[in-house]
A and B are shown apart, each in its own frame.
Chain A
Amino acid sequence: MNVDDLRQMLVIAKYSFTVHVRSRRFYTLLGITGLLALATLLASWAFMDVSKTTALDLATTWVAILKFLTVLSALFFGPQAIAKEFQEKTGYFLLPTPVKREVIFMGKYIAALAVSLSVVLLYWVFAVVHMYTAFARVPPEVAMSVGLSLLYTASLLALTFFISSLFRSGTTAIAISAVLYFFVLNTVSFLLMLAGVEPWFMIDYVSGVINNVLMEPYPPHVVEQTAGGITLRLYYPRLDVSVAVMAAYIAVCLIAGALIFRRREMR
């Protein structure tokens, strides 16, 4: 990748970002973010006794919904990014240009990431303002949780871009991604845990660290629970491994997605 590639990547990112922020989808997600923040706020007022609650407890409440928002943002900006170029024929404008396919892919990823991160950060702004209003402080652990949530957003979006590169139809890519994120990933993680295998390589499992860093102390890696003569091993993702896994998702999915996109024909 040379300087011209980088310049073209930023051009694609800039215009793709403009398309995202002008889309109805973006405003819908902003609305959902506001509603989720409002729901969290109301729930905390209704069910939390501030005198018996710490700032970290409140942060944990906010994080509970954050994963859902992250999945939504990935579903809003990822699945169609590549597939739509073929489905809606915008590829006839963008692809016959002197631009490498991987540059197009990365430019689009940067744009989708920027807009997804802005939504996630907006949610965090609501959370931080609430924490500060309630406790006049924001625990330092929250910064770690914010960082991990951004990393998770990037990795989930990379996986979604990979899925998008596999399909010619944006609708199919959305459906597959939604089923994967809402049902398949957590089911597989749960079954692996039941089988006594730590699902350390599953992205939904490692995202648990966003919440775990808000716990004092950080939970042990394995907790054994016995009930009715059956011993169940509960795993908590390790911070270092989880960060590495999320980074690996970003790298592997982006490289694989870009390679698939490079070979894809516009028939």
Chain B
Amino acid sequence: MHVEAIGLSKAFNGFYALRDLNLRVEGAVCFGYLGPNGAGKTTTLKLFTNLLRPTSGEARINGHTVHAEHTKALRDVGVIVETPEFYPYLTAREILSFQCDLRGVPRREIDYVLERVGLYENRDLKVGKFSRGMKQRLALASALVTNPGILLLDEPTAGMDPMGMVEMRRIIADLKRENVLIFLSSHLLYEVTAICDEIAIIHHGRLLLRDTMENVERKFAGHVVLVDFADDVHEENLEDLPHVRAVEQVNTRRYRLTFRGGTDEQHALLRAMVERGLRVISYREDGLALERAYMRLIGGDERG
């Protein structure tokens, strides 16, 4: 299973929302598609789901051109694009039955999926009474209920409360173990870092970076660590540690240390603190590698 963009472009009245995208995502991976608002993420998803026609190039799914043969291309694809609305007079269960019946698949997964997204209790409630977060959960249920091999998810946590966002991430993380290709569009870097194996960053309709999360974390490793101590610590006790360039006190038990070098030096710094008798209870890189990559590539040019 794969999704592929070949020279894919989309212009609206001469303005290119997406320009010459070449991208292939293959196999059971979780692929994070990142970019600020207006970067072209949703446009890409809409091209992959036949909601838009390409100005040039091709969007392909499992070898089928979406625009020319979308019934074949979308057969094994579950989709969330933006925050969809549903027919207000149908219940959650009927919405999922509708999805199953359209695709000609059995309805046996409906109750399980409703339970999975936390809507089982509301299964017979008309969707017109749903909150935005509940509709987003229903959208995920609708994408999952036919057991697709490919999931195209556009900002799936949009409109959700913090609990909903955590649950959504957990569901997506579980799906990674189910041999599903997940194409996840988001501008939430923490979300992508937490669940994606590969990422792409897009800006002004152009692809700026495509790599594995592992490579991104290596290439964009930081030189700042956040250290928590069990006891109060004086700043002077930290300034002469090996490789340290700067010490910033967050509070008497938490410091932000900037150091020179890479992984070895980072490890040496920790060891030196422990050897000095400082009771370190937490030692972690400050900020996300993905955030640094994002800021370096998009930086102050970000609009959203």
Which A residues are within 8 Å of any B CB, using their own CB? Answer: 4, 7-8, 11-12, 14-15, 18-19, 22-23, 88-93, 95-100, 263, 265-267
Of A7, A18, A98, the most chain B CB neighbours within 10 A belong to A98
Residues of A within 8 A of B71 (CB): 98-100
- Nearest CB in chain B: distance from A76 CB, A: 14
Residues of B within 8 A of A95 (CB): 49-51
- Name 18 extra pairs, CB < 8 A, besides A4-B104, A93-B95, A265-B46: A12-B102, A14-B101, A15-B90, A18-B90, A19-B89, A19-B90, A89-B84, A89-B85, A90-B84, A92-B82, A92-B83, A93-B84, A96-B74, A97-B79, A97-B102, A98-B71, A98-B103, A267-B52
Sort chain B's interface into a size bin: 20 to 34
Q: Is B98 an interface residue (CB 8 A)?
A: yes
Q: Is B15 an interface residue (CB 8 A)?
A: no
Partner of B12, one of A8, A15, A267: A267
- Nearest CB in chain A: distance from B220 CB, A: 34
What is the chain A residue whose CB lies nearest that of B82?
A92
A7–B103 CA distance with the chains assembled, in angstroms: 10
13 pairs of residues in contact across A and B, judged by CB atoms under 8 Å: A15-B98, A19-B87, A19-B90, A89-B85, A93-B95, A95-B50, A95-B51, A96-B77, A98-B70, A98-B73, A98-B77, A265-B51, A265-B52
What is the chain A residue whose CB lies nearest that of B69?
A98
Partner of B81, one of A12, A19, A92: A92
- Nearest CB in chain A: distance from B8 CB, A: 15
In the complex, chain B residues 120-167 whose Cβ is within 8 Å of any chain A Cβ: 139, 142
Residues of A within 8 A of B95 (CB): 93
What is the chain B residue whose CB lies nearest that of A87?
B85
Residues of A within 8 A of B139 (CB): 93
Of A22, A92, A96, the most chain B CB neighbours within 10 A belong to A96
A99–B69 CA distance with the chains assembled, in angstroms: 10
A93–B99 CA distance with the chains assembled, in angstroms: 9
- Nearest CB in chain B: distance from A141 CB, A: 39
In the complex, chain B residues 54-79 whose Cβ is within 8 Å of any chain A Cβ: 70-75, 77, 79
Q: Is B265 an interface residue (CB 8 A)?
A: no
A95–B95 CA distance with the chains assembled, in angstroms: 14
Q: Is B94 an interface residue (CB 8 A)?
A: yes
A22–B139 CA distance with the chains assembled, in angstroms: 22
